């Protein structure tokens, strides 16, 4: 019996900043790393409101057409799936519109400015019966997936405490332009939505549900120069009119897990001397595991040696594990252990899982419901800062 499934899927990208480029490249690379996957994406349309940007993207990456209006994408009956990589304040409107148009949705985190925004997109997708994917890419790292297996197997014993960090310096320069990222109405909760959202997802992915939390936030650069024109990435602006930074540069939260474990989550966008310092250290009653995104293919393990009946506890040594083809999707990219993968590879995994979800009509990977969970944690952090109290989730 022949396979009646379509072999291709016309896809569109809304918003062509850096992340729009990453999504586009991921779609293009899927056929290289997942040749048997069906349907394969076809770059149909790209939309961006900045004059000329979408046309340039279409010419460079081979989209069939371009437009300055995202609504043209939603209205196009030929489009089967859409990536939304626009600023946070547009996520809800665009995400709901894409879903209500019956198109599958791959959207970047945090999916709006609040849990209510993310929930609205999730409800629209569920009512329309479309599949969703969300850009929680760090859980796709093969080393992270292997760490999850180690924790689930009980090799660490009972998890006692953990630390998750997301430190970056992209906003550390005081001359960084006052873009939408620093405005409450357009950028939401600042570093909470940008980086702590990843941390909240990783904590759930590895350790399970959070029972309660208490949080503290700070703004360390309270004024920035307003840009003279359209911003792209993390531009600098000097000499212009100063405006207030309305959302958070830093957050630190103490978490009580449903299992009884304790956890700390920290995130900063102004961490001088740290570039993409993302990772975790997890300790249990029998051992430990840690991961650093900047050494994506490695795990640091403090476990009993093979053949030992009991853990050492005190003075237990650590060893480095280089992940290989048996870990997550590593074998799709590299044939042997310790060959480096990169950030863009994680987005290829994300694209493949999104397409697999569409083909099988079953969610694979992070979905908008995961974004709702993450955003609920961020909302609880904001509530805790305002009240000065622990908040139950």
What is the per-residue pLDDT across 59-92, written as a single tens digit (0 to 9) for each?
999 999 999 999 999 999 999 999 999 999 999 9
Of 84, 110, 137, the residue at which a domain comes to its end is 137
Mean pLDDT, the chain, rounded, equals 94
Please indicate, yes or no, whether residues 288 and 161 belong to a single structural domain of this protein. yes
Q: Are residues 255 and 278 in the same domain?
A: yes
Task: Give the model's pLDDT for residue 1.
Answer: 41
**Under a CB-based contact definition with an 8 Å cutoff, are residues 189 and 247 in contact?**
yes
Q: CA 314 to CA 316: how far, in whole Å?
A: 5
Tokens of 103: 């198109």
**Residue 123 and residue 160 in one domain:** no
The answer to whether the CB of 105 falls within 8 A of the CB of 130 is yes
Whether residue 108 is contained in a domain is answered as yes
End-of-domain residue from the set 112, 137, 162 = 137
Task: Please indicate, yes or no, if residue 100 is contained in any of the structural domains.
Answer: yes
Do 296 and 270 share a structural domain? Answer: yes
Residue 335: Cβ within 10 Å count: 9
Q: In this predicted structure, what is the pLDDT of residue 307? A: 61
Does the bond joining 39 to the residue before it have cis omega, within 30 degrees of 0?
Answer: yes
CATH classification at residue 40: 3.40.50.720
On whether residue 351 sits in a domain, the answer given is no
Q: State which residues of the chain have pLDDT below 70.
A: 1-5, 229-234, 239, 305-309
Tokens representing 383 are 């509530």
> Which letter, b or e, does each residue of 167-187 get, where b requires 16 or more Cβ atoms within 10 Å of its Cβ?
bbbbbbeeebbbbebbbeebb
Range of the domain at 31: 8-137
74 three-state secondary structure: helix
Last residue of a domain, one of 116, 137, 158: 137
DSSP string, 294-363: GGTTEEEEE-PPTT-SS---TT---EEEE--TTSTTHHHH-SSTT----HHHHHHHHHHHHHHHHHHTS-
Give CA–CA dist 389/215, Å, rounded: 8
Where does residue 160 rank: exposed (0-12), middle (13-18), buried (19+ CB within 10 A)?
Answer: middle
How many domains are contained in the chain?
2
Q: How far apart are CA 340 and CA 295, in angstroms?
A: 9
Dist. CA 63–CA 57, nearest whole Å: 8
Q: Give residue 233's pLDDT.
A: 59
- 3-state helix, strand and coil shares in percent for the chain, rounded to the nearest 5: 35, 25, 40
Task: Identify the pLDDT of residue 99.
Answer: 98
- How high is the pLDDT of residue 241? 87
Q: Do 247 and 217 form a contact (C-beta atoms < 8 A)?
A: no
Task: Tell me whether residue 163 is in a domain.
Answer: yes
Kind plus residue range of the DSSP H or E element containing 125: helix 115-128
Shared-domain flag, residues 77 and 125 = yes
Percent of the chain with pLDDT over 90: 90
Two structure tokens written together for 141: 């790292």
Give a yes or no: residue 353 inside a domain. Answer: no
Same domain, 157 and 210: yes
What was the pLDDT predicted at 353? Answer: 98
Peptide bond into 226 cis (omega under 30): no
pLDDT computed for residue 3 by the predictor = 57
């Amino acid at each position: 019996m022949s396979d009646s499934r379509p072999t291709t899927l016309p896809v569109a990208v809304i918003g062509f900043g850096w992340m729009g480029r990453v999504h586009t490249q991921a779609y293009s690379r899927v056929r290289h790393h997942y040749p048997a996957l069906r349907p394969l994406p076809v770059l149909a349309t790209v939309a961006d409101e900045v004059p000329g940007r979408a046309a340039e993207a279409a010419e460079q990456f081979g989209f069939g057409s371009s437009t300055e209006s995202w609504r043209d994408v939603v209205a196009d009956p030929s489009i089967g799936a859409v990536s939304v990589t626009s600023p946070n304040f547009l996520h809800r409107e665009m995400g709901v519109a894409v879903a209500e148009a019956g198109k599958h949705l791959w959207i970047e985190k945090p999916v709006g400015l609040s849990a209510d925004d993310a929930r609205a997109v999730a409800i629209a997708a569920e009512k329309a019966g479309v599949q969703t994917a969300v850009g929680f890419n760090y859980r796709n790292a093969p080393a992270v997936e292997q760490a999850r297996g180690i924790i689930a197997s009980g090799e660490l014993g009972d998890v006692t405490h953990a630390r998750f960090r997301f430190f970056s310096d992209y906003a550390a320069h005081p001359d960084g332009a006052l873009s939408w990222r620093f405005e409450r109405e357009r950028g939401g909760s600042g570093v909470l939505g940008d980086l702590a959202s990843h941390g909240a997802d990783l904590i759930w992915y590895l350790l399970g549900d959070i029972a309660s939390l208490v949080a503290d936030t700070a703004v360390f650069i309270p004024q920035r120069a307003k840009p003279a024109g359209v911003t792209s990435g993390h531009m600098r602006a000097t000499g212009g009119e100063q405006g207030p930074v309305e959302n958070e540069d830093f957050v630190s939260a103490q978490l009580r897990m449903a299992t009884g474990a304790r956890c700390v989550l920290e995130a900063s966008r102004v961490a001088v001397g740290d570039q993409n310092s993302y990772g975790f250290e997890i300790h249990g009653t029998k051992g430990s595991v840690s991961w650093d995104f900047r050494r994506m293919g490695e795990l640091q393990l403090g476990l009993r040696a093979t053949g030992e009946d009991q853990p050492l506890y005190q003075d237990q040594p650590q060893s480095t594990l280089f992940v290989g083809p048996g870990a997550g999707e590593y074998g799709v990219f590299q044939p042997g252990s310790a060959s480096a993968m990169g950030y863009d590879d994680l987005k290829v995994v994300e694209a493949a899982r999104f397409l697999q979800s569409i083909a099988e009509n079953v969610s694979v990977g992070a979905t908008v419901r995961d974004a709702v969970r993450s955003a609920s944690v961020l909302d609880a952090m904001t509530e805790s800062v305002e009240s000065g109290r622990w908040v139950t989730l």
